[in-house]
Amino acid sequence: MAIVEYGGGIAAFWGSIGGTTFSRGGSFNIAKRRAYPRNRLILERQTNKGYFSLCIERWKNTLTNADRIDWQDAASNFSQSRHGIAYTISGMNLFIGVNTLKLLIDNTFLNAPTIFTGRLAQRTVTYAWDAATHKVEINFSPALAATEKLFYWATNGDRKYATYKKIAYRNSGILTSVTGLPYDIDASYRGADGTIHFHFIVLDTRGAISSAWQTYYQYTYA
């Protein structure tokens, strides 16, 4: 990583060119080499890659033109911004995003959406230590609708004071509107204080998803 001082003509730079990513931290402009993930042979990762390929094949060869138009119409409501620049996702992006998650639930595809209300709301997740089970428990609000699922991925309880994720998500689950809360997270806690990092996303099986978000919780083992 390097701190960059610009001369006249360029005041700021974000994004990537080749293997270099530009960003800003505090009052400094930063350039760093892009981190390329190690291709670990984790079963869930290989499964997701397979689902992604199946979705592309289905979009090209199975969906009707009317189906594709419906996905385009639904995706047009998914406007968001990055670095202050507004953009929308494509219908194919939305189809793949929804169906790679739906395949994890019931191994079936949704060929066309039935809702067109845009991106789902993220949930507010709260954490606590469950001394009875020796696990981190989570709760969230607002509650899930009957058609909504909350997916989570979690690390093991390592690196006691870590505030950024550096290890793989080894644990996952799918919560529903009838899941008992608070919900205990199955992970390796090592019998010691630690930190669990989380990745969340909400799916509506009728054809919508939320933005993904990441958090962490530092627990005291007791």
How much is the pLDDT for 37?
Answer: 46
Amino acid at site 147:
T
At 46 the pLDDT is 44
- 160: helix, strand or coil: coil
- Which of 117, 116, 109 has its CA nearest to residue 56? 109
Amino acid at 67: D
**Does pLDDT of 1 surpass 50?**
no
Query: C-alpha angle 97/99/105, rounded to 5°?
Result: 120
In this predicted model, what pLDDT tens digit does every residue of 68-82 receive, in sequence order? 999 999 999 987 666
- Bridge partners for 172 per DSSP: 153
CATH number of 124-219: 2.60.40
What's the burial of 57, exposed, middle or buried (CB within 10 Å: 0-12/13-18/19+)? exposed
Q: Is it the case that residue 141 has pLDDT exceeding 80?
A: yes
Q: Quick check: 111 and 63 in contact, CB under 8 A? A: yes
What are the residue boundaries of the structural domains of the chain, listed by start? 2-33, 43-106, 124-219
Task: Name residues whose C-beta falls within 8 Å of residue 166's C-beta, 6 or more positions apart in sequence.
Answer: 159
Regarding predicted confidence, which is higher, 121 or 43?
A: 121
Does the pLDDT at position 6 exceed 60? no
**Whole-number pLDDT of residue 113:** 98
Q: Dump pLDDT digits (tens) for 158-217.
A: 999 999 998 999 999 999 999 999 999 999 999 999 999 999 999 999 999 999 999 999
Tokens for 30, please give them.
């930063």
Output 193 or 50, whichever has higher pLDDT.
Answer: 193
- Token pair 């507004």 is at which residue? 86
Residue 134 Ramachandran class (φ > 0 left, ψ -120 to 50 alpha, else beta): left
CB 101 within 8 A of CB 201: yes
pLDDT digits (tens, 9 = 90+) for 12-33: 544 555 555 655 555 555 555 5
Give every CB contact of residue 185 below 8 A, 6+ residues apart in sequence.
135, 136, 137, 138, 152, 154, 171, 173, 196
pLDDT at 39 (0 to 100): 44
Lowest mean pLDDT among 88-97, 128-137, 171-180: 88-97
* DSSP annotation of 192: S
What rounded mean pLDDT belongs to the chain? 84
Dihedral sign for Cα 95, 99, 101, 105, please. positive
The one-letter amino acid at 206:
R
Say if strands 194-204 and 213-219 run parallel, antiparallel, or are unpaired. Answer: antiparallel
Q: What's the CA gap between 177 and 183, in Å, rounded?
A: 12
